[in-house]
Amino acid sequence: MNRERPGGPAPWTPAGAGRPQTPFLSQVIHEYVDYNGHMSEAYYVLIFGHATDAFYDHVGLDHAYREQHRISVYTVEAHIRYLIEAHDGDALQIATRVLAYDAKRLRLHHTMRRGTDTLAVTELMLLHVDKTALRATPFHPEPLARIAAVAAAQASAPPPEPATSRHWGA
């Protein structure tokens, strides 16, 4: 199913197991632009959030799965670096990398690009949660296998731009 996200058309088709995920597409709309003339930081987070949702769909953690199993995936930590300003009308591509995973956790990295320019990066720590017990719970086998397949397919790629902050001197 193709999706339209706020910020303009953002087609994305779930690729399923065995096929690579396509970059998530979005666009900076006028309402995202702040008094400095570029996209406000809240909208970077929004667009990265939509890219995370697209990844969930890709690996089978979609709405139907979440409803059927009464689970969700919570973001428990996020780091973002703003590298280059995004402006009204910019077409954006967000690539997603699996940095690490285990039975209950997933670390994702998103790179936001405009053409070949990297505008921002984020790293997320995500936790698979049983919504009834409100506790972390292991991923079911099928989505975990898809996460593992994505991680394996990306293993030989060079490391992404770090999303952690630069260390300030004392």
Higher-confidence residue of 5 and 109: namely: 109
Domains and CATH numbers, the chain: 24-154 (3.10.129.10)
Would you say residue 166 has pLDDT above 80? no
Q: Which residues fall within 8 angstroms of residue 114, CB to CB, at 6 or more apart?
A: 84, 86, 90, 91, 92, 93
Alpha carbon distance 120, 111 (integer Å)? 6
Its pTM surpasses 0.75: yes
Instruction: Report whether pLDDT(17) > 60.
Output: no
Q: What percentage of the chain exceeds 90 in pLDDT? A: 79
